[in-house]
Amino acid sequence: MLLLAFDTATPAITVALHDGTHVLAESTTVDARRTGELLAPGITAVLTAAGRKPGELTGVAVGVGPGPFTGLRVGLVTARALGDALGIPIHGVCTLDVVAYQTKTEEPFAVATDARRKEVYWAQYTDRFTRSTEPDVAHPSLISERLTGLPVAGEGAVLYPEAFPKAIGPRHPSAGALAELTIRRLQSDPDSLMFPEPLYLRRPDAVEPGTRKRVSTS
């Protein structure tokens, strides 16, 4: 097995290569504005570091968000194109699940990532493997009440300490963890892996025009 994993649903552009036993190489850069520039070179970098060629890949795992749309789509279209070009399966994993897996926590907690516009993407977990709510987007103060002091992982906790006083790590997902989680699911629960459809959770901003604006002043 040679699994390529990457996630672009947060400011971290993270890429890893996994052989089924170990993470062979990992590369992470935090720069939300340069996802389109950094992802492809990141993929080449992990392949080169491990001395492997794209043709040797047997699968691709990608974080499907939720996350800011533009960066998220860079990851998803890259995964779909690689899957098409190499004729290999692609597996989608919820980005919040990756962060949850990285907490190494067996107690209930939540994950919150930055959704911009003063909101977070979030979900609740009973342990690091088990999500108990659907991913959603909301204002931190509204979630804060529901979480009643639970620990919160992800950048959302760092950005909104008043709403989420018990911040725990990690801040961002890691592609090495995404690869591990994907391999676990492939072995135990392949149905939980989805075709990479983006979790946008918000509708596009668009307004239908009203009646025509008049240009005359009189």
Partner 1 sequence: MTALKDSPLVLGFETSCDETGVGIVRGNTLLADAVASSVDEHARFGGVVPEVASRAHLEAMVPTVQRALADAGVTLADIDAIAVTAGPGLAGALLVGAAAAKAYALALDKPIYGVNHLAAHICVDQLEHGPLPEGCVAMLVSGGHSSLLFVPDVTGDVQPLGQTIDDAAGEAFDKVARVLGLGFPGGPLIDKAAREGDPEAIAFPRGLTGPRDAPLDFSFSGLKTSVARWVERRERAGEKIPLADVAASFQEAVVDVLTRKAILACKENGADHLLIGGGVAANSRLRVLAEERATKAGIRVRVPRPNLCTDNGAMVAALGSELVRRGRAPSHLDFPSDSSQSVVDVVVR
Residues that bind partner 1 (CB under 8 A): 34-41, 43-44, 53-54, 69-70, 73-74, 76-86, 198, 200, 204-209, 212, 214-216
Distance CA(164)–CA(150), nearest Å, equals 8
CB of 20 to partner 1, least distance (A): 21
- Asked if 91 and 72 touch (Cβ cutoff 8 Å), the reply is no
Nearer to partner 1, 62 or 181 (CB): 62
3-state SS of 73-101? HHHHHHHHHHHHHHCCCEEEECHHHHHHH
User: CB-wise, 83 or 140, nearer to partner 1?
Assistant: 83
Rank residues 42 and 173 by Cβ distance to partner 1 and give the closer one. Answer: 42
| Minimum separation from the CB atom of position 153 to partner 1 (A) | 28
Strands 120-127 and 130-131: antiparallel
Are the C-beta atoms of residues 59 and 90 closer than 8 Å to each other?
Answer: yes
Closest separation in Å from C-beta 14 to partner 1: 15
User: What is the DSSP code (8-state) at residue 194?
Assistant: B
| Smallest gap from residue 189 Cβ to partner 1 (A) | 26
Nearer to partner 1, 6 or 109 (CB): 6
What gap in Å lies between CA 18 and CA 7, rounded to an integer? 14
* Closest CB to partner 1 among residues 21, 207: 207
Token couple for 10: 């947060």
Query: Shortest distance, CB of residue 136 to partner 1, whole angstroms?
Result: 19
